Amino acid sequence: MGKTTSTTTLQQSILPSWYSNYTQDVLANQQAVANRPYVPYDQARIAGFTPTQQQGFDMTQQASTSYQPALGAAQAGVVDSFGRSTQAAAQPYTNAAANNSAQRPAYGALGQAGALSNASTQALGIGMASPYLSAAGQMNGAGAAQPLMQQGADLAGASTQALGLNAASPWMQQAGSLNSVAAAQPLMQQGADLAGASTQALGLSAANPYLQQAASLSGASAAQPTMQQAANYTTASGNALGMQAASPYLQQAGQSSVSNIGDYMNPYTDQVVNRIGQLGARTLSEQLMPAINAKFIGSGQFNSSRNAEMLGRSLRDVSESTSAQQSQALQQGYSEAAQLAAADRARSGQLASTAGQLGQAQQQSLANVGSQLGQLGNQYGQLTQQDQQGLSAIGGQYGQLGTAQQSALANAGQQLGQLGNQYGQLTQQQQQTLGNLGAQAGSLGFQQQGALASAGQQIGQLGNQYGQLTQQGQSNLANIGSQYGQLGNAQQGALASAAGQQGQFASQYASMGQNQQQLMSQLAQQVASQYGQDTANQLSASGQLAQLAAQQQQQGLAGAQAYTAVGAQQQGLDQRNLDLAYQNFQAQQAYPQQQIDQMAKTIGAVATGVPTGQLQYQSSALPSTSTLSQLAGLGLTAAGSGVFGQSAMPAVAPKG
């Protein structure tokens, strides 16, 4: 800049007002952009963990310890099985079998049989007959006849009295009062009662409850619920659970990635494409076309073919540029949408595979449960059959005991009948003895009557007769002693028979004790076998629990990994959205400067065709920096040649 003078002539090139205004707008916009403060991005740049990822992390933490309850239960079952002893379980029955000695129940019967046998060896007949024989030995016919001879003399006058009938009457009455049938009746009746009791089906009655209970048990019926449940689980395991669970994901994964690509298109794509078209149209209508028309107006060629050609070229270039930018934006949006759709299809395929594996695992678990329930039903049926056999054996033993009791009752009835018969025979013998005594008393009375006819002869005869009577008394006493001896011998035989029966009872008690020992031993074996089977089942169940614990942990970790993978994809999509938002923010911030740059390029493109004029005036001071100089500062003028011609800024020549 020079110093101001009082007279200065200024010559300046004059540009069209539309061009000057346009360049001044560009400068003003650039100044406004430069004055705009820095705007920081206040939105999130990094996508955090999604809820699905958090759920996957929680599932991983839970799955890491999910095995502990089942494994703890399995360990407890194994430890408990170590403390189980089949010998301890069978010990009570073994002790009972050892304590139930076969001889112990027979001791009482053997003792009673021994007592009866000892009693049968005693001389019961001699003991019973001894008093009568002693009395017969002490009788003396002469001594006994002396008082009678004296009495006979006294009674000689009483020969007319019925002395024989009077003397025989008591004996005959006593003999008549005796009845052998009435005497034997109680014993015979008791024997008949015992014999009648022996005909009752005691063995069948005793065995009937156990046999009925055994008949009511059915291994098939007992196993039916468990077997039915096993069949239900097996049927359920045959369903295609894996395919059913995976089918929705497979259908979704089988669709084309472009079938619904519109759902994945960026909603801002249309706005960007439309904005590109608007900017191209505005650039053409507000910048290029006015500039071209102004150039041809200035040269006087407006509406010429050259003018139309230049307008067509500008329209073509702007259209091609706009279409290229729009195609690039659409292609970029379509590519991103296709990638997102393909990622969703791949994720659906992975979910289908995971769901199918889980369904197959569930099918296998159902099949295993069905098999285990079937085995339990079979074992339950076998145990029920064993109970049937045990009850049948007990019923058979009770039947044998009832049959033995029937036999004992029949024997007792027979023995009581024999005793009644013997008692009747003794009563008949006693009747005969009393009858003989009555006859002898009657004969004595008649003889005493005859003796009264002659006193002397009668006294001698009476003495002789009393001696004979004494001898007869001795004979009668001896007969009575003999009868009592026979009765004692019969009683000895009965005692010996009773001792034999008690011995048989002792043998039966011993047999029953042996049967009970065998039953206790069998029960001990069955309990030990069942206890061992229970222990084996418990160990097997513990092993299955341990396997289930491992499977539970693996399935839990697999599910957690699936959730984590899905969450990672969601996180990636969120990150892409955040990146796209940041890119949009950067594009929004750069958009004003891009527009200014585009406007500056337009100015440079049309600068050679802008008409200029010359203005000359005087001034006391140099004018301010021209608009063209400002454009040169923005880099819009070309070096050496200028933007608006060879002499855009002519030198000012001061005049004196």
Phi, psi of 190 (to 5 degrees): -65, -40
Choice among 178-182, 206-210, 361-365, 449-453 with the minimum mean pLDDT:
449-453
Residue 584 CA, distance from chain mean position: 61
Question: Residue 622's pLDDT is what?
Answer: 42
Question: Residue 403's pLDDT is what?
Answer: 77
634 pLDDT higher than 80: no
Question: Residue 202's pLDDT is what?
Answer: 65
Nearest to 516 by CA among 100, 25, 24: 100
329 pLDDT higher than 70: yes
What are 11's two structure tokens? 């010559």
304 pLDDT higher than 80: yes
The Cα–Cα gap between 200 and 196 comes to 7
* Residue showing tokens 């020079």: 2
What are 81's two structure tokens? 């099985």
619 pLDDT higher than 60: no
Name the most confidently modeled range: 111-125, 273-287, 346-360, 411-425.
Answer: 273-287
Question: Residue 656's pLDDT is what?
Answer: 36
The Cα–Cα gap between 267 and 143 comes to 165
Choice among 25-34, 300-309, 463-472 with the minimum mean pLDDT:
463-472
Provide, rounded to the nearest whole percent, the portion of the chain with pLDDT above 90. Answer: 12
Mean residue pLDDT of the chain comes to 77
* Residue showing tokens 């030198």: 651
The Cα–Cα gap between 394 and 398 comes to 6
The 10 Å CB-count burial string (b at 16+, else e) for 554-590 is ebbbbbbebbbbbbebbbeebeeebeeeeeeeeeeee
The Cα–Cα gap between 242 and 552 comes to 17
128 pLDDT higher than 90: no
The Cα–Cα gap between 558 and 225 comes to 36
The Cα–Cα gap between 148 and 160 comes to 18
Question: Residue 88's pLDDT is what?
Answer: 78
> Quick check: 233 and 373 in contact, CB under 8 A?
yes
Nearest to 380 by CA among 207, 227, 604: 227
42 pLDDT higher than 90: yes
Choice among 239-253, 400-414, 622-636 with the minimum mean pLDDT:
622-636
What are 135's two structure tokens? 């009395």
Q: Confidence class of residue 564 from pLDDT cuts 50, 70 and 90?
A: very high
186 pLDDT higher than 80: yes
Q: Would you call 513 exposed, middle or buried from its count of C-beta atoms within 10 A (0-12, 13-18, 19+)? A: middle
Assessment of whether the complete model's pTM goes beyond 0.95: no
* Residue showing tokens 């678990």: 365
Nearest to 422 by CA among 497, 501, 487: 487
Q: Confidence class of residue 43 from pLDDT cuts 50, 70 and 90?
A: very high
Q: Confidence class of residue 326 from pLDDT cuts 50, 70 and 90?
A: confident
> Quick check: 29 and 632 in contact, CB under 8 A?
no
Question: Residue 46's pLDDT is what?
Answer: 94
580 Cβ contact list (under 8 Å, min separation 6): 266
Choice among 21-30, 147-156, 377-386 with the minimum mean pLDDT:
147-156
Question: Residue 245's pLDDT is what?
Answer: 78
Question: Residue 582's pLDDT is what?
Answer: 94
* Residue showing tokens 């009435």: 182
